[in-house]
Amino acid sequence: MSRVRKIFISGFIILNFLSMIRVHLPMGNKIVSQIYQPVDSYLSFFSLFQSWTMFAPDPSRANVHLSAEVEFMDGTKDTYFFPRASTMNLEDKFAFGERYRVISDVIRKDQNDFLWIDTAKFALRKLRANNYHKIPLKVNLVRHWNEISDVESNFVPHLSKNTNFNSYEFFTYEVL
Amino acid sequence: MISFKAFLRGWDHFFYKRTDASALCIFRIMFGFFLFLNGISLVEDFQVWYGIGDNALIPLHDSLNFYSNFRINVYRWLSPTETSAWMVLIAYITTSVFVMVGFKTRISTIICFILMVSMQNRNYSILNSGDTLMRCMLFLMMFAPTHVKYSVDAYLSEKKGLPYRTDISLLTIRLMQLQFSLVYLATTLFKLKGYDWVDGTAVYYTSRLVNFQRIVLPFVFDFPFLIKFATWSALFIEFAMGSLVWIKEFRLPVLFAGLLLHLGIEVSMSIGFFEWVMIAAYILFLEPKEVKWLQQCLPQIVRRQLRTASSNFF
């Protein structure tokens, strides 16, 4: 291998090392951020950001799912439940259950409020077929959750189902 | 102290030593298969995740505004029609098959990467750790000579009387190994920041998250001491996969423990393709003679099992 080619390839290795370090270590320092500017552009262009924080630093202690309640002008209501991996069979869970788990987890967080209007509109469209003659007034997005009991104080047997959920309306989309 | 010359020699040896391409090419086949399965798994809800019309959860114009950074996204250049959205997925599935069989491998890998990244940028909110891992590995695979063995390219080239060299530089394998180790090391460090992994109760909570649950494992998650054992074992194996796997004497036992860990997680939990891609990547840590041994033994074992199964059946 020629020397020039080797130097070029070594540069590529170093760039990748730097980018791997960049995405894994917290670097709030302004000077370091400046130095890393070109690496950030490289990472952004190729979408090489990575985060390995699943179940870390601590696993979630809540089972969560979402629903959307639509209120119509005639006073009636209809509810759309977003698909839940926990209610799917094994094959469906493997094929697409994980995607619904992730998106529910993303939507429920306040930092992702930019997704809420689209989510509400989506639920509205899903319910349109059953309510085509009604005029919708608003859509309420609702989080449902139950806490996993503490291991020391109340050990829950594996696979026991807790069907009691708390609910909280976290967003209202005014249709009219 | 190490001299600069010795450092360069070490660097050279680590990254540029030549090795047999079998492990890399087998990885390509397995990885291509998971890329393909991933594409197929998106077909059912394609309209919801990537559609253009009313069925899309996040409309295309909104997604382009949310994630409007300087990044690869073919949806920016395509006309916003259902047909073009479908074409992206179909082209992704097709190129994943090409990667798997090794047809026009380099260009197929590059196109597959561009399409995968575009789809991921189209809807960032459905991505899991398996997607991230596949993206990072596929990026490195674009630079790897994955076509030199077990591929249509190699077959055609040999037919022409111009066979490929099958001893390759370790460079891209090393980068993939480093990427792989970093996943484990990073997750270990993040987990050590919390309480549940340190006090041995994390597996209790993860096993009670209903959206992840898959198959009932008797006993394992119902006794506090087994939960502690599972939690600390997982943590230690992940740490070992990020560190001890680089030490010759520990490599095989650590890989074996890692394999058991991933199979255990795959049986009990549903986390997309993450576990399978990790397991496939283990082959990159094997020495050529170990890969050869696997190639000789595995077909024999499978054949023997099939023969036994068929004789029992009839």
pLDDT in tens, A139-152: 999 999 999 988 88
Cβ-contact B269, B23 below 8 angstroms: no
| Rounded Cα distance, A48 and B132, in Å | 8
**pLDDT on residue B60:** 87
pLDDT (average), residues B105-119: 96
Greatest distance between any 2 Cα atoms in chain B? 69
Which one has a higher pLDDT value, A28 or A68? A68
Cβ-contact B121, B72 below 8 angstroms: yes
**Is the CB of residue A90 less than 8 Å away from at least one CB of chain B?**
yes
Q: For residue A71, is pLDDT > 80?
A: yes
pLDDT digit string, tens, across residues B213-228: 887 777 788 888 999 9
pLDDT (average), residues A81-110: 89
pLDDT digit string, tens, across residues B24-68: 999 999 999 999 999 999 999 999 999 887 788 998 888 888 765
Q: What are phi and psi of B163, to 5 degrees?
A: -65, 150
Q: For residue A25, is pLDDT > 70?
A: no
Which one has a higher pLDDT value, A17 or A111? A111
Residues of chain B with Cβ-Cβ distance to A24 below 8 Å are 182, 185-186
Q: Which candidate, B201, B65, B69, places its Cα nearest to that of A59?
A: B201
Closest residue in A to B44 (Cα) is A96
Q: For residue A56, is pLDDT > 80?
A: yes
The amino acid that residue B231 corresponds to is T
Q: What 8-state DSSP symbol labels residue A145?
A: E
Q: Which of B44, B169, B195 sits opposite A58 (nearest CB)?
A: B195
| Rounded Cα distance, B163 and B10, in Å | 31
Crossing angle of the two packed helices B4-16 and A3-24, in degrees rounded to 10: 90
**pLDDT on residue B69:** 65
Q: Which of B210, B226, B235, B273 to mutate to test the interface with A (most CBs of A within 10 A)?
A: B210
**Is the CB of residue A170 less than 8 Å away from at least one CB of chain B?**
no
pLDDT (average), residues B198-227: 88
The verdict on a CB contact (< 8 Å) between A55 and B191 is yes
Q: What 8-state DSSP symbol labels residue B144?
A: S
β-pair partners for B168: B19
Helix ranges (DSSP H) in B207-287? 224-242, 248-268, 274-281
- CB-side neighbour CA atoms (13 Å) of A130: 11
Give me the percent of chain B exceeding a pLDDT of 90.
Answer: 67
Cβ-contact B152, B103 below 8 angstroms: yes
pLDDT (average), residues B88-97: 97
Confidence of residue A11 (pLDDT cuts 50, 70, 90): confident
Please report the ipTM that was assigned to this predicted complex: 0.88
Q: Domain residues of chain B, as ranges?
A: 19-169
Q: Is A64 helix (H, G, I), strand (E, B) or coil?
A: strand
**pLDDT on residue B228:** 94
- Bridge pairing between strands A62-72 and A136-147: antiparallel
| Rounded Cα distance, B302 and B144, in Å | 30
In angstroms, what CA-CA distances link A107 with A102, A141, A143, B68? 9, 10, 10, 19
Q: For residue A93, is pLDDT > 90?
A: no
| Rounded Cα distance, B141 and B277, in Å | 13
Confidence of residue A173 (pLDDT cuts 50, 70, 90): very high
Give me the percent of chain A exceeding a pLDDT of 90.
Answer: 45
Q: Between residues 44 and 73 of chain B, which touch chain A (CB distance below 8 Å)?
A: 44-45, 49, 54-59, 62, 66, 69-72
Q: Which candidate, B137, B95, B88, B101, places its Cα nearest to that of B29?
A: B101
What rounded mean pLDDT belongs to chain A? 87
Distance from CA of A169 to the nearest CA of B (A): 19
| Rounded Cα distance, B211 and B223, in Å | 21
Confidence of residue A20 (pLDDT cuts 50, 70, 90): confident
Cβ-contact B52, B80 below 8 angstroms: yes
The amino acid that residue B93 corresponds to is I
Which one has a higher pLDDT value, A120 or B272? A120
Q: For residue A80, is pLDDT > 90?
A: yes
Residues of chain B with Cβ-Cβ distance to A11 below 8 Å are none
Range in A61-75, B53-67, B119-133 with the lowest mean pLDDT = B53-67
